[in-house]
Amino acid sequence: MLRAGRPRTRVVDDARRSPPVPPRTVGTPRAAASAPVARPAGRSPRSRSYGGLTTATRTREALMGSVKLRHLPARAAIGAYVLDSGLGKRGADAETAAGLHGMAAQAYPFLADVDPRTFVRVLSAAEIALGAALLLPVVPTGLAAAGLTAFSGGLVGLYLRTPGMTREDGVRPSQEGIGLAKDVFMLGSAVGLLVDVAGERARTAVTRLRPSLRRSS
């Protein structure tokens, strides 16, 4: 004969032995949506990527990307020459200052009203700054070459405008103009550096745009 309380006790024992069911979490989708999104290590929240490069990388390449090993020989040779020329003019006496100012004023009349000593001091400072910029590799080649182009262009103009510096054709140097004619080499080197930097930037731009063009096609 079965007792009446036996089945109820078995049900209670089975309930105690079974593992508890975890309660259902209310609002789980909303909590998951509000969870912070993990960002790649080493990238700041404000950094943006353009063609696989962040803004900081693009800025660094704009400042330093144009300094190539092939630029250094020309920069070092011309920079040392210009720097030495500027240092030599720092202690120029009155006679030397008057001679340099007179030659410059003959080619560029707007310099006639400038004091000779002031002119030589400014010229010396400009040559020292340009020579240092060419010698320091941290200065971008495009910036240094632009300054060298302006400076050497002025010297070539001085050579072409000063009477007696050229022959009858007005281009070939005379015996007195050989010293100034060498500035043509500086101008050619400066333009060559600018062309090389522009070509390098154009190739870099095409390389960055190539994946986008492939995806669009």
pLDDT of the residue at 184: 92
Q: Is residue 21 part of a domain?
A: no
Radius of gyration of the chain, Cα coordinates, nearest whole angstrom: 37
Residue 155 domain-assigned (yes or no)? yes
Q: Is residue 31 part of a domain?
A: no
The answer to whether residue 139 is domain-embedded is: yes
Mean pLDDT by 10 residues, the chain (217 residues): 49 53 52 50 47 51 64 95 95 93 94 95 97 95 95 94 88 87 92 92 79 70
pLDDT the model gives residue 47: 45
In a domain, 193, yes or no: yes
Range of the domain at 203: 68-216
Looking at the domain assignment, is residue 37 inside a domain?
Answer: no
Residue 60 lies in a domain: no
- pLDDT of 37 reads 52
**Whole-number pLDDT of residue 32:** 46
* Residue 194 domain-assigned (yes or no): yes
Domains in the chain: how many in total?
A: 1
pLDDT of residue 204: 81
pLDDT for position 201: 82
> Which pLDDT score is estimated for 106?
92
